[in-house]
Amino acid sequence: MYAKHTADPDQATTPHPCESWPDDGRSFRETLDRIGDKWSVLVIGILSGGPLRFCALHRRVPGVSQRMLTLTLRHLERDGVVSRAVYAEVPPRVEYQLTPLGESLRAIVHALAQWVTDHHGEIESARDRYDAG
Amino acid sequence: MYAKHTADPDQATTPHPCESWPDDGRSFRETLDRIGDKWSVLVIGILSGGPLRFCALHRRVPGVSQRMLTLTLRHLERDGVVSRAVYAEVPPRVEYQLTPLGESLRAIVHALAQWVTDHHGEIESARDRYDAG
DNA sequence: CGGGATCCGTCGCGATACTG
DNA sequence: CAGTATCGCGACGGATCCCG
């Protein structure tokens, strides 16, 4: 809206992609919506321990429904983050595991898990303080 | 709702032998729902560049409505990630900035931003491949 | 066992209008 | 400038049934 007042692109004032997102955050959003949706991070974190079958995965994400787990896995598979291996056996077996692309997310997901673990108490007390005041 | 047929509160007695998660994901979810919601990461990333007023923030997250920006900021404030400073002036001025807790998220948010930037192309081609096959 | 299809409630989220 | 209030739609997500 207001970016017409000068011919000079304002990229000179953006040293880090974080403070002023490239593409104004739109291309970020597309990807972020996958990584940041309700279950993706949990699934990626769990799969970082090794390949798992659907049921085992389901057991380890307590709140998720089969539908959402299926959808999450489909999205992650579409984005090339997890791979799906079907073994034509009886009973049928399907194993999911991280692709190299997914592996490259491990550090971030683990850092996030660590952060949440470390600061969960702080956040809870912050909420109490906010709700009290 | 359904836990009437047994005296055992199953939600607290599931010692998941989780290989990769520090907990079973419940407390993780509570916090993750805030950090991982649609706009929080973008807002935190932008605020990592320094304090900003509401309008400036709004301008830097083009897709967000004022309503969602307000709600996001309220949630982040409640969780102690963002602080809100009101200056009783005319015109009114409100500045948002990261708290120390929020600062501790900078590295993760930045890493996430970097990852998205680095792998956005991979993900797009993965999607094309998936949609084609 | 894995998961697609369907029904359906909830609410996230945007658009709009109004206040201080 | 910095919000709050209200409305409404569409996506999200759970429950259920059913098939390979």
pLDDT at A54: 95
Nucleotides of C under 7 A from a protein CB: 1-6, 12-17, 20
Q: Tell which wins on pLDDT, B131 or B82.
A: B82
Give the per-residue pLDDT at B15. Answer: 36
Chain A CA closest to residue B50 = A19
DSSP state of A16: S
A to B CB pairs, distance under 8 Å: 172
Compare CB distances from A18 to B61, B110, B130 and report the shortest one's residue. B110
Place of tokens 């996430």: B112
In whole angstroms, D6 C1' to B67 CA is 12
Confidence category of residue B36, pLDDT binned at 50, 70, 90: confident
**Residue with structure tokens 């560049």?**
B49
Q: Which two tokens stand for residue B81?
A: 């990630």
CA distance A104 to A113: 15
Peptide bond into B62 cis (omega under 30): no
In terms of CA atoms, which chain A residue is nearest residue B33? Answer: A38
Domains of chain A: 21-132 (1.10.10.10)
Residue A41 · residue A106 · CB < 8 Å: no
- As a whole number of angstroms, the distance between CA B115 and CA B101 comes to 22
Is the confidence at residue A47, as pLDDT, over 80? yes
% chain A with pLDDT above 90: 53
Which tens digit of pLDDT belongs to each residue from B83-128?
A: 999 998 888 999 999 999 999 999 999 999 899 889 989 998 999 9
Question: Which residue does chain A place closest to B14, by CA atoms?
Answer: A62
The spacing between the Cα labelled CA in B16 and the C1' in C11, in angstroms, equals 31
Which nucleotides on chain D have any atom < 7 A from a protein Cβ? 1-6, 12-16, 20
* Length A67 CA → C7 C1' (Å): 14
Angle between helices A106-132 and B66-78 (to 10 degrees): 80
**Share of residues in chain A with pLDDT > 70 (%):** 80
With beta carbons under 8 A apart, name residues in chain A contacting B120: 27, 31
pLDDT band with cut points at 50, 70 and 90 for residue B23? low
- Please return the burial class of B83, using the count of CB atoms within 10 Å of its CB with bins 0-12, 13-18 and 19+: middle
Stated as kind and residue range, the H or E segment containing A126 is helix A106-132
